[in-house]
Amino acid sequence: MSLPVAQRTFVVAALALALCQMSVAAHHAFSAEFDREKPVKVQGKVTKMEWVNPHAWLYLDVVGDDGKTVNWGIELGAPNALVRRGWRTDAVKAGVDLVIEGYQAKNGKSVANGRNVKFPDGRELFVGSAGTGAPSDSK
Amino acid sequence: MSRTSRPFITLLIVGGVLATSAPITGQQAPAGAPAVSKPAAPAVSKPGAPAARPSKPWTPKRTPDGQPDLQGYWQTQGTSTGRQDRNIDLGNGKPGGDGFWAYGTGWSSDQQRQLPNNLPRGVIDPPDGRVPLLPWAAAAKSEIIDNAENPRSLADVDPHARCLSSGVPRTNYALGYVGYQFMQSPGYVVLYTELSHQTRIIPLDDRPHLGKDIKLFLGDSHGKWEGNTLTVRTKNLRVPASTGFGWLDMQATLYSDQLEVVETYTLVDRDTIAYQAVVTDPKVASRPWTMAGMFIRAVDDYEVYEYACHEGNKAITNIRESIELRNSSKK
């Protein structure tokens, strides 16, 4: 079936909206893998994004207070969930600055479950994370 | 991730029917018409509350071999393992307390399609809406929940987090953001789940079930049409060898290799399939119980995406490292 671009966009947006409005989907191992008591906020340059299943991953070079650069891995939703919410493979490119809020992994490494992804000017690229299943909030 | 085209998927799976069914069962694919009976009135599932019928009888179109046509793309809604007294923190809300569901059952009022509100959902038998677990299974579930945040081993982690098959019936209420493609070919119904590409190839003839020693993650399913209802019996279900039990949900409701499931898929109207599953598992539950829900036809341009779960699953590595870190800090 072929639809005009505008109509297709509407259908995709409507589907994304409908899926987001479903009860927040759960992460199969959230509490075993991530620490609800350790919220983190990191800012840095994207080094790569992996569109892999069952969760996509975003990697950022983050410069710490000590001046050292640490590469953080941020778990996002499943690729099909991201696509259905409007993400595209070119949505985030290497070198882009992002601010990410999430919950740190329990393995002590620079790994987190992403919750919100924003550009430094505050524009939100990704609000909520039904697919990733991070603790829900009011956003 | 790559996109998989609809014709390719269809070709692949329908081709798979012919390629895989006969060798697995040791029998030839049925020749001629499938076993499709046509009683005067549409049958509904027998156990528990019956699926509500539309006020006006609806006649689905038929496939060339005479089956009611349920083909297309669907989304699951409402099916669950019912109310949970306690729960593992899945990151989707504040844990704990009665009324927290193992799976979301809500759907906002402004969803795309108008859902039939008269269809039963959740655990409809027993009447209290809970799985009638034997005492040991209830205790095991509780113990896993106690340890889920700091798992002692992978036995405290949902097997699905390891990308193991959801099994039957869990494939039918797996996640809200993945869909289903139902297909039919002469003598077969094929139920394809986008999540991890799980495909159930269901013959409609009277061939015997597999021998009891042959266990499969999706089991051995046989179907039969009665009016607009497809009844599917599934046995020979396999459980993860490492733990000895599978999970029927994200909340450690266990199942054993004695699990047998009788599902009914009733075509209610063009966009709705009422779904029920009678679950019998004498190792785990004190009696058979019934879950209900529905499939809602997906939007017209719904596409199935690739979902190769093992592709980049880091969960188990992260969890193992967490366990090791915790153990080393105790020393």
pLDDT (0 to 100) of residue B87: 80
d(CA A58, CA A55): 10
Min mean pLDDT across B83-92, B185-194, B297-306 is at B83-92
B72 inside 8 A of chain A by CB: no
CA angle B244, B172, B121 (to 5 degrees): 110
Are B108 and A84 within 8 A, CB to CB? Answer: no
What digits encode the pLDDT tens for the residues A2-24? 434 444 433 333 333 333 333 33
B318 inside 8 A of chain A by CB: yes
For A77-97, b/e burial (b = at least 16 CB within 10 A) is bbbbbbbbbebeeeebeeeee
Are A107 and B156 within 8 A, CB to CB? Answer: no
Two tokens at A65? 């207070």
Tell me the ipTM for this assembly. 0.73
B325 inside 8 A of chain A by CB: yes
Are B299 and A11 within 8 A, CB to CB? Answer: yes
* pLDDT tops 50 at residue B13: no
- Residues of chain A contacting residue B312, judged by C-beta atoms under 8 Å apart: 50, 52-55, 57
Considering only alpha carbons, which residue of chain A is nearest residue B102? A26
- The shortest CB-CB distance from A29 to any of B107, B299, B315 is to B315
Q: Which residue did the predictor score with more confidence, B82 or B230?
A: B230
- Residues of chain A contacting residue B163, judged by C-beta atoms under 8 Å apart: 54
What digits encode the pLDDT tens for the residues A24-82? 345 678 889 999 899 999 999 999 999 999 999 999 999 999 999 999 999 988 888 77
For chains A and B, CB pairs below 8 A equal 172
Using alpha carbons, select from A101, A107, A104 the residue that is nearest to residue A129.
A101
Are B300 and A52 within 8 A, CB to CB? Answer: no
Are A28 and B161 within 8 A, CB to CB? Answer: yes
- With cut-offs at 50, 70 and 90, classify the pLDDT of residue B264: very high
Number of neighbours of residue B37 by Cβ within 10 angstroms = 9
Residue B256 is which amino acid? Answer: S
Q: Cis check for the bond before B50: say yes or no (omega within 30 of 0).
A: no
Number of neighbours of residue B286 by Cβ within 10 angstroms = 14
What digits encode the pLDDT tens for the residues B123-135? 999 999 999 999 9
- Residues of chain B contacting residue A131, judged by C-beta atoms under 8 Å apart: 177
CA angle A40, A46, A48 (to 5 degrees): 115
Torsion from C-alpha of B49, B129, B113, B91, nearest 10 degrees: -160
SS3 string, A70-101, reads EEEEEECCCHHHHHHCCCCCCCCCCCCEEEEE
Q: Under DSSP, is residue B267 helix (H, G, I), strand (E, B) or coil? A: strand
Q: What is the DSSP letter of B249?
A: S
d(CA B242, CA A93): 41
- The shortest CB-CB distance from A53 to any of B112, B148, B309 is to B309
What digits encode the pLDDT tens for the residues B75-124? 888 898 998 888 887 765 443 332 223 233 223 333 345 566 689 989 99
Considering only alpha carbons, which residue of chain B is nearest residue A84? B177
Question: Which of A24, A28, A72, A82 has the highest number of chain B CBs within 10 A, making it the mutation to test binding with B?
Answer: A28
Are B322 and A27 within 8 A, CB to CB? Answer: no
Considering only alpha carbons, which residue of chain A is nearest residue B311? A53
pLDDT (0 to 100) of residue A77: 83
Gap from A7 CA to chain B (nearest CA, Å): 11
